[in-house]
């Protein structure tokens, strides 16, 4: 079992640290955010992630998981240091590496003996070399830097970490490889890809960019369906039966992808390509198509309630960028809310989990509803933006009675268009008739 330090206790750091503790390692998780660490020490979990709270509590109790703001000691005591800090986008789409660089500097200043530094943050190709150079500025001894990108999905992060499709380890050093093999010894080694650092870094970007491409592709097909009178769900079903396309494909039309990864990773890869004199035109289109898709609900809302949205009451179901998370970073709902508020609409929002994140960002510009059915009372239209499971089973008759007009825009194709019409709704979804 290894002594591991995790730098950063966000979605990735907290889940990684907790799961590694669950696997028996002794883990110290560090953050510069004192409030977060104080709360974690009191058992208050800063994010919503299924199963995480129980695991944190249990591993703290077993004395395998510790939380601290003491970066220097946490680095000194570890055999292996994971970097899991944020890599947010800069305004020009490039990746902000200040947090990664700051951690590298702390590591350089505090190591006194061989350690493995594992980069789990999503970082542009070449960052492994940059981290190595920074550490070398302060420390002349032996150490290894490994790229081990994370593929967990928010909403199922614990399960994804514990049952990964694959583990990618990029490093040329047999010593570091042996240590990483030990850390991941509980996992199916057939699904571990050992490669060089740069290839590992690129695997992460290429994977997210490919998935984003699938989403923008099917959304573009959905837009064609709307013009041509075809049904995107049938088109996707027909496509996915082709084994080369695959049944696990991301072919679900909707209001576009959001979250803290796809938008920034697509832009990050475009930027890396540009810096190397390559124009990654496909990805530029993917990004553009996604922005357009996030704006597409407005037209549908106006089709139902008229162009003038002043004082129209609009209920939004869902804020989180996808179900089972409280993360609203780059959520399509935020784009739609801004469009509606700019046009003078009164917006009511219901989200079963992401209300608190929403309040921090939106303040009282919208009203936050605490009951799904009540949220529709007196509204001109209800707009479904995130496909939370409770929306699928809502009593639609009651929704219809609550609404001023039986108008629904379904941005995630949750309901059946024929049934909605039968129930008397004016119903518009994505790429279906």
Binding site for ligand NAD (CB under 6 A): 7-13, 30-33, 36, 71, 84-87, 99, 102-103, 121-122, 150, 152, 154, 260-261
Report d(CA 307, CA 48) in Å as an integer: 37
**Smaller CB distance to ligand NAD: residue 26 or 31?**
31
Report d(CA 27, CA 218) in Å as an integer: 42
**Smaller CB distance to ligand NAD: residue 150 or 410?**
150
Report d(CA 119, CA 142) in Å as an integer: 17
Count of CA atoms in the C-beta half-sphere (13 A) of 54: 3
**Smaller CB distance to ligand NAD: residue 4 or 297?**
4
**Smaller CB distance to ligand NAD: residue 100 or 176?**
100
End-to-end C-alpha distance for the chain, whole angstroms: 57
Beta strands in 209-329 (DSSP E): 313-317
CB of 322 to ligand NAD, least distance (A): 10
Report d(CA 220, CA 222) in Å as an integer: 5
CB of 402 to ligand NAD, least distance (A): 35
CB of 83 to ligand NAD, least distance (A): 9
CB of 106 to ligand NAD, least distance (A): 6
Report d(CA 182, CA 61) in Å as an integer: 24
Residue 261 annotated to the active site: yes
CB of 143 to ligand NAD, least distance (A): 18
Report d(CA 367, CA 375) in Å as an integer: 9
What does the DSSP assignment read for 239-253?
HHTSTTT-TT-----
Report d(CA 6, CA 14) in Å as an integer: 8
Question: Could you tell me which residues are beta bridge partners of residue 170?
Answer: 147, 195
**Smaller CB distance to ligand NAD: residue 103 or 255?**
103
Question: Which residues neighbour 178 within 8 Å (Cβ) at sequence distance 6 or greater?
Answer: none
Which sequence positions are flagged as catalytic?
A: 261
């Amino acid at each position: 079992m290894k002594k591991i330090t995790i730098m950063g206790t966000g979605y990735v750091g907290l889940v990684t640290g907790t799961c590694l503790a669950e696997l028996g390692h002794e883990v110290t998780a560090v953050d510069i955010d004192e409030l977060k660490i104080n709360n974690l020490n009191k058992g208050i979990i800063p994010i919503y992630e299924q199963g995480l709270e129980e695991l944190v509590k249990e591993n703290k109790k077993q004395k395998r998981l510790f939380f601290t703001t003491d970066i220097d000691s946490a680095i000194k005591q570890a055999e292996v240091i994971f970097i899991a800090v944020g890599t947010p986008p800069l305004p020009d789409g490039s990746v902000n590496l200040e947090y990664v660089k700051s951690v590298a500097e702390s590591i350089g200043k505090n190591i006194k003996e061989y350690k493995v530094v594992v980069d789990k943050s999503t970082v542009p190709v070449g960052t492994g070399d940059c981290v190595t150079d920074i550490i070398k500025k302060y420390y002349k001894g032996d150490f290894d830097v490994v790229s081990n990108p994370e593929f967990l999905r928010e909403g199922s992060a614990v399960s994804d970490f514990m049952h990964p499709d694959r583990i990618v380890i990029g490093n040329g050093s047999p010593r570091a490889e042996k240590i990483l093999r030990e850390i991941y010894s509980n996992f199916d080694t057939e699904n571990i890809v050992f490669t060089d650092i740069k290839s590992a870094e690129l695997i992460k970007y290429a994977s997210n960019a490919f998935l984003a491409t699938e989403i923008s592709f099917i959304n573009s097909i959905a837009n064609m369906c709307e013009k041509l009178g075809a049904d995107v769900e049938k088109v996707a079903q027909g496509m996915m039966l082709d084994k080369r396309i695959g049944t696990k494909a991301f072919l679900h039309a909707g209001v576009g992808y959001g979250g803290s990864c796809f938008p920034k990773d697509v832009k990050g890869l475009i930027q890396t390509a540009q810096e190397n004199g390559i124009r990654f035109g496909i990805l530029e289109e993917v990004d553009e198509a996604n922005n357009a898709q996030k704006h597409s609900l407005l037209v549908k809302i106006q089709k139902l309630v008229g162009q003038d949205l002043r004082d129209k009451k609009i209920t939004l179901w869902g804020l989180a960028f996808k179900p089972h998370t409280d993360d609203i970073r780059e959520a399509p709902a935020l784009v739609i809310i801004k469009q509606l508020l700019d046009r003078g609409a009164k917006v009511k929002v219901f989200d079963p989990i992401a209300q608190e994140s929403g309040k921090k960002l939106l303040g009282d510009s919208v009203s936050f509803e605490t009951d799904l059915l009540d949220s529709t009372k007196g509204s001109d239209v209800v707009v479904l933006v995130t496909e939370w499971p409770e929306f699928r089973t809502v009593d639609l008759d009651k929704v219809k009675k609550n609404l001023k007009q039986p108008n629904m825009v379904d941005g995630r194709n949750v309901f059946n268009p024929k049934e909605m019409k039968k129930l008397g709704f004016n119903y518009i979804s994505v790429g279906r008739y």
